[in-house]
Copies of this chain bind each other. A is one copy, B any other.
């Protein structure tokens, strides 16, 4: 059960009552009162979300998905396959135009319904998906096209056959390629950023995160199961993991947060998608003038700094944030 969906249900009775009243008499005091009450309720319910609530927001069934972002691009031409084994529909990539600019896009594809989810393996990418991504990153670098990625996955596919085809190596190869490419890379964490499977296309010059997206080293459920042998304590784990956009900006892991409307991005999906694309556009505009060497050096230093450790030799604390 999604806690946000549950909460929305309790609002929806009130909302339909207002709708009915509005049809009869839009300007009445009663309508106005009710409207401001709903507004207040919405603020109370969604104004200051806990990490666990954000996890649920990130997994909300109506949340904009990669497919919505791809559809909002000026143009998109999908390129398929790893050239060796299979085309993985969980990770889609291709040529695109974004605000008039030629780019290569990579996106993790959760499905909108069960059928899509089965087809796309619920957005969990297999080795051949990461190998396709690597191929397209190299293509982008070859033709000097910026790389734009949309991250939304609970994690890399943990299945038997993915292990047999070297899931670890596939993710590592993506990371190496992103470290190597001589073009700007902008990553957007739009929903769930699940561990290494997300990072594989998330190593970037500029990382943007939707306000209610989450990005975590482990799923809250998995973390709770490991720590307390009880997946039901996920809300508590979510709290500890520091997986919100604000936390990650504080750590220097996320460079920019795109605010969501109260109640979540899905309350005004189309506009939110445009806002995110604007943010990507803005980031690219700043990165494009950089020479390849400067770009790569900046990328190196960005990740070089991340972490928090003590330097006993220097007898000072070093921190990346």
Contacts and interface: CB of A to CB of B under 8 A. Distances in A.
A264 interface: no
A165 B83 CA distance: 8
A85 interface: yes
A173 to B, nearest CB: 8
A84 interface: yes
Contacts of A165: 84-85
Interface string A147-179: 000000000000000000110011000000000
Contact of A127 (B84, B127, B131, B170): B84
Identify the interface centre among A84, A131, A166, A170: most chain B CB within 10 Å of its CB.
Answer: A84
Nearest to A84: B166
Dominant SS among interface residues on chain A: loop
Contacts of A84: 84-85, 127, 131, 165-166, 169-170
A129 to B, nearest CB: 13
Interface in A8-66: none
Contact of A169 (B83, B166, B169, B170): B83
A131 B84 CA distance: 10
A127 B83 CA distance: 11
Interface in A89-141: 127, 131
A198 to B, nearest CB: 21
Nearest to A173: B83
A97 to B, nearest CB: 29
Contacts of A169: 83-84
Contacts of A166: 83-85
Contacts of A127: 84
A83 B169 CA distance: 7
4 nearest A-B pairs in the assembled complex, by CB-CB distance: A83-B169, A84-B166, A85-B165, A84-B165
Interface of A: 83-85, 127, 131, 165-166, 169-170
Given A84-B131, A84-B169, 4 more contacts: A83-B169, A84-B127, A84-B166, A85-B165
9 contacts: A83-B166, A83-B169, A84-B85, A84-B127, A84-B131, A84-B169, A85-B85, A85-B165, A85-B166
